[in-house]
Amino acid sequence: MNPLVIYLVCVKATLTSFSGMGSLPIIREEFVVQRSVLTDRQLSTAIAVGRAGPGPHGLYMVAAGYFMAGIPGAAAGCAALMTPAFLIIVLLQRLGRYRENPRVRGAIRGITIAAGSLVLSAVVPLAQDAWSAALPVVVSVVSFAALLWTKIDTFWIVAFGAVAGVAGLWLGA
């Protein structure tokens, strides 16, 4: 996979989102569904890797880039994650006064809600891939509930998943 294409697709996905994970639906549509250069399992792994450490949630693009094209792909994903951030300097210089405009705020709210919905929609195929037995379903449900209703750090959710997976193999679950 050409790193330049990875960069351009990732920039497109980032430019149409207003949160770290908001870019996920377009990334999946482009790389998994249309181009078949990434599997759902690799994408899920990239998400887990991106959230295992510190840094922004959008880091999954670096891992996804790595799975598609090695180090150059990871660099392309990293550059694409960073590029749109600098648009804020143009906004600071020219458009700061519009940030309170009700139409602008409404558009952003609508896009953000739709992006959240598309993230939920993208969960379905990833769950179909991950839920090969009862244990992964339990891990997903516990992770979902813990992240939604507690302040637990994501790192511990990733660690919990790894320990549960190893325990499952050991116990033959």
Partner 1 sequence: MKHPPPWSVGALYLRLGNTTFGGGDPTMAALQRELVDNRGWLTAEQHGLAYGLARVTPGTNVLAYCAATGWMLAGWLGSLLGVSGVVVPSALLSVWLCGAYDAYGVNPWFGAAMSGVVAAAVGMMASSGVSIIHNRAKGRWLVPGLLFAVISVGAMRFGLLSPLKILALAGALGALYGDAPAGEASA
For the segment 80-119, give every residue that binds partner 1 (CB under 8 A): 81-89, 91-92, 96, 99-100, 102-119
- Residues 24, 120: Cα–Cα separation, whole Å: 10
Pick one of 9, 26, 37, 76: the residue that binds partner 1 (CB under 8 A). Answer: 26
Residue 16 engages partner 1 in binding (rule: CB under 8 A): yes
Give the interface size with partner 1 as a residue count (CB under 8 A).
110
Pick one of 9, 32, 63, 69: the residue that binds partner 1 (CB under 8 A). Answer: 63
Pick one of 17, 39, 72, 94: the residue that binds partner 1 (CB under 8 A). Answer: 17
Residue 14 engages partner 1 in binding (rule: CB under 8 A): yes
Residue 9 engages partner 1 in binding (rule: CB under 8 A): no
Which of these, 70, 83, 84, 75, lies nearest to 37 by C-alpha position? 70
- Residues 83, 89: Cα–Cα separation, whole Å: 12
CB 2 within 8 A of CB 76: no
Pick one of 20, 32, 37, 69: the residue that binds partner 1 (CB under 8 A). Answer: 20
Kind and range of the H or E element at 49? helix 40-52
The least CB distance from residue 2 to partner 1, in Å, is 19
Across 64-146, where does the E strand assignment appear?
Answer: none
C-beta atoms surrounding 76 within 10 Å: 27
Tokens of 36: 């078949």
The least CB distance from residue 8 to partner 1, in Å, is 14
Kind and range of the H or E element at 42? helix 40-52
Identify residues 127-166 at the interface with partner 1 (CB under 8 A): 127, 129-132, 135-137, 139-148, 153-155, 157-158, 160-166
Residue 32 engages partner 1 in binding (rule: CB under 8 A): no
